[in-house]
Amino acid sequence: MCGILGQIELNKQINEEEFGKMLDTLIHRGPDDSGEYFNAQKNIALGHRRLSFLDLSRAGKQPLANNEKTIWITFNGEIYNYPELKEQLKNKYEFNTETDTEVILAAYQEWGIDCLQKLKGMFAFGLYDTTLNKLFLVRDRFGIKPLYYAKINHTFLFGSELKAIMASGIIPKQVNFSSLADYFVYRYIPSPKTIWQDVCKLPPAHYLELNTLTLSSSTKEYWTLKSEENFEMKEILVNEVNQILAKSVQEHTRADVPIGSFLSGGYDSSALVYYMKQAGHQPQTFSIGFEDWEKSEDQFAKIVADSLGVENTSVQANEESLKLLNLMANVYDEPIADISIIPTYIVSKLAQTKVKAVLSGEGADEIFGGYTWQHEFLSKKKRWFDFFFSKDTVSFYANSMAMGWFDSDELKQLLHPNLHKFIPMDVHWFYRKHFNKNLSPLKSIQMMDMKCFMGELVLTKIDRASMANSLEVRVPFLDHTLFEKLFSIPEKDYYNPNQTKELLFQNIKNYLPKEILDRKKQGFVGPDSYYMNLEFYKKELANSSLVKHHIINQKYLDKLLTETYNWKLWKILVMEKWFRKWID
């Protein structure tokens, strides 16, 4: 994986030394090499930090240009179907490297920006077409790889992480208080907002087209998941899913270095290790557990590893691990209050000691219907009378996602009165934006899971935690052909209320131990005692910077600190740590 950076100036030349310093903030994303491109006028620059997997030679150095030096690219990600595309384009383009990056250049040269429809993988890139005076910023369909941008006065900046853009010194450090209010509702800041007033996230499945002569721009969504109701025999469907997953794992393990895997002992990661074995790999696997917890995942991971005959290395988190929360503000750039931000960082640090990349199971719950709230929603939906008079879909989903409920009234108690004007009329606007009433009940929840929970929270967490440790995480379940396949059939054909992730289960049931197959769904969490030590919060939130700067009310905080169990404290503490790092 890599870090990318770009800058365009209308009225002055770019300071090369300052640009290099910005690029250095991304060294953790690409410690193997770095490169810069400046146009002749020195007003357009592209930067790249490289974590190399394909064509480890200097030929793979970026930014990379086409043969005529008219198209330049700085690319972060992996194009998994690049050999097939290269075969298709080899008579139209003279290839000089073995990289997937050059295949993007060739594809763009042949099909223009419509080449995005051909790409299969995880990616974020900036592509500069000198003949058209256009810059294209592109983000993959699911948002696996990040991309931020900012335009202020006569300057345009983009980068893999906020810290690179803010290092320019050009963007004022002004908090977007609307984003701050959103954070307490969602646990993250939804696209296209960021925590900073003048910086945006490019949403998943979108590209931005920028005129480099005027800095005028527009964004466009290039992929949407369409729902159909095509009937398919169960046996045929199970086999098709098996073929898609087997191929996806094969594609995701293409590299000139070994690829390992995270392993939790759940269906998803266990299935990936099984498919890796089927493809002829002998992966090293990595797990994390919690001290003195009977549900600790590392014990289940060992069962799977022993059964499949692979090496497993594990680490255990404890109360001391919570001290890493001070580091998370720098790792994540903007506040994100997922409860597994620290465990994900720890297991990534462990894996990086032995491999440069791992597979991970993100996406399986979304597409196969594995989340508990999906099951609860459908169960409630069957009781039409109860459902109709209780909650609509968005309200149900918001409650399921809350992890510390904040609505408008609660935000008014939390936030200083000066900030009340930033509280949105509809605090659940982002869920509502991605709720499609024309979808079937399960698919409507799955779409919000994909666009909201996974696209904004889960994938952000996994990218930052892994890349902070110079580790690439690949997610084979996020194959867009798999999502398109299951959305093309009725939900009853892939959802079984009596068997979680039915289609995945059918493909692994003969190859994993019974205690794993019978294991109840468990998210990537830890024991409540790990997060609900009230004395810890009292100590960490003493002399709060958020209170000092009139962001939150001390009276409200004091009230929370008398309660024995409240996830709101975790959200507040994560924001507190971010504020101290970046503002105070």
Instruction: Give the pLDDT band (50/70/90) at residue 391.
Output: low
pLDDT at position 381: 64
3-state secondary structure at position 94:
coil
The Cα–Cα gap between 194 and 430 comes to 14
Same domain, 204 and 280: no
Is 488 among the domain residues?
A: no
Q: Mean pLDDT score of the chain, rounded to an integer?
A: 93
61, pLDDT greater than 90: no
* Most confident stretch, 55-69, 116-130, 386-400: 116-130
Catalytic pick among 2, 115, 200, 452: 2
Strand partners, 312: 285
How many separate domains does the chain show? 2
pLDDT at position 575: 98
Same domain, 89 and 11: yes
pLDDT at position 389: 38
Instruction: Give the pLDDT band (50/70/90) at residue 388.
Output: very low
Same domain, 158 and 248: no
Q: What is the mean pLDDT of residues 557-581?
A: 94
**pLDDT tens-digit map of 193-206:** 999 999 999 999 99
Measure Cα distances from 231 to 196, 236, 312, 446, 492 in Å.
47, 11, 41, 20, 10
Catalytic, 2? Answer yes
- Please count the other Cβ atoms lying within 10 Å of the Cβ belonging to residue 454: 25
Q: Of residues 449 and 381, which shows the higher confidence score?
A: 449
Same domain, 61 and 131: yes
pLDDT at position 287: 96
pLDDT at position 58: 63
Q: Of residues 559 and 584, which shows the higher confidence score?
A: 559
Name every residue whose Cβ is closer than 8 Å to that of residue 477 and which is 6 or more positions away in sequence. 245, 248, 268, 361, 362, 363, 364, 367
- Whole-prediction pTM: 0.95
Q: What is the DSSP letter of 98?
A: S
Residue 272: CATH number of its domain: 3.40.50.620
Is 126 among the domain residues?
A: yes
Same domain, 163 and 268: no
> What HEC string does 198-214 produce?
CEEECCCCEEEEEECCC
Same domain, 106 and 200: yes
Is 498 among the domain residues?
A: no
Is 433 among the domain residues?
A: no
What's the token pair of residue 447? 């779409």
**pLDDT tens-digit map of 461-482:** 999 999 999 999 999 999 999 9
What's the token pair of residue 377? 């929603």
- Please count the other Cβ atoms lying within 10 Å of the Cβ belonging to residue 569: 23
Is 246 among the domain residues?
A: yes
pLDDT at position 477: 98
pLDDT at position 552: 98
3-state secondary structure at position 141:
coil
Same domain, 266 and 143: no
Lowest mean pLDDT among 49-58, 290-299, 349-358, 508-517: 49-58
Q: What is the mean pLDDT of residues 36-51?
A: 94
Q: What is the mean pLDDT of residues 364-382?
A: 87
Same domain, 168 and 89: yes
Same domain, 204 and 266: no
Is 409 among the domain residues?
A: no
Name every residue whose Cβ is closer than 8 Å to that of residue 479 and which is 6 or more positions away in sequence. 120, 244, 245, 248
- Please count the other Cβ atoms lying within 10 Å of the Cβ belonging to residue 247: 18
384, pLDDT greater than 70: no
Host domain of residue 14: 3-174+194-221
Lowest mean pLDDT among 120-129, 229-238, 326-335, 421-430: 229-238
Strand partners, 4: 48
Instruction: Give the pLDDT band (50/70/90) at residue 525.
Output: low
Instruction: Give the pLDDT band (50/70/90) at residue 268.
Output: very high
Same domain, 73 and 170: yes
325, pLDDT greater than 90: yes
526, pLDDT greater than 80: no
Name every residue whose Cβ is closer than 8 Å to that of residue 348 and which is 6 or more positions away in sequence. 465, 466, 468, 469, 471, 473
Measure Cα distances from 428 to 199, 413, 417, 425 in Å.
22, 18, 21, 9
- Please count the other Cβ atoms lying within 10 Å of the Cβ belonging to residue 515: 12
Cβ(575)–Cβ(546) under 8 Å? yes
pLDDT at position 137: 98
521, pLDDT greater than 60: yes
Cβ(322)–Cβ(291) under 8 Å? no
Instruction: Give the pLDDT band (50/70/90) at residue 530.
Output: confident
Q: What is the mean pLDDT of residues 382-386?
A: 51
Instruction: Give the pLDDT band (50/70/90) at residue 170.
Output: very high
Cα atoms found within 13 Å of the Cα of residue 397, Cβ hemisphere only: 28
Name every residue whose Cβ is closer than 8 Å to that of residue 46 and which is 6 or more positions away in sequence. 4, 5, 6, 36, 37, 63, 72, 73, 74, 126, 128
Spacing of C-alpha 12 from chain mean position = 35
Same domain, 217 and 240: no
Is 291 among the domain residues?
A: yes
385, pLDDT greater than 50: no
443, pLDDT greater than 60: yes
Is 273 among the domain residues?
A: yes
Instruction: Give the pLDDT band (50/70/90) at residue 522.
Output: low
Parallel, antiparallel, or unpaired: how do β-strands 33-38 and 44-50 relate?
Answer: antiparallel
Q: Of residues 14 and 563, which shows the higher confidence score?
A: 14
What's the token pair of residue 267? 């269906």
Same domain, 209 and 106: yes
Q: Of residues 427 and 377, which shows the higher confidence score?
A: 427
Percent of the chain topping pLDDT 70: 95
Residue 68: CATH number of its domain: 3.60.20.10
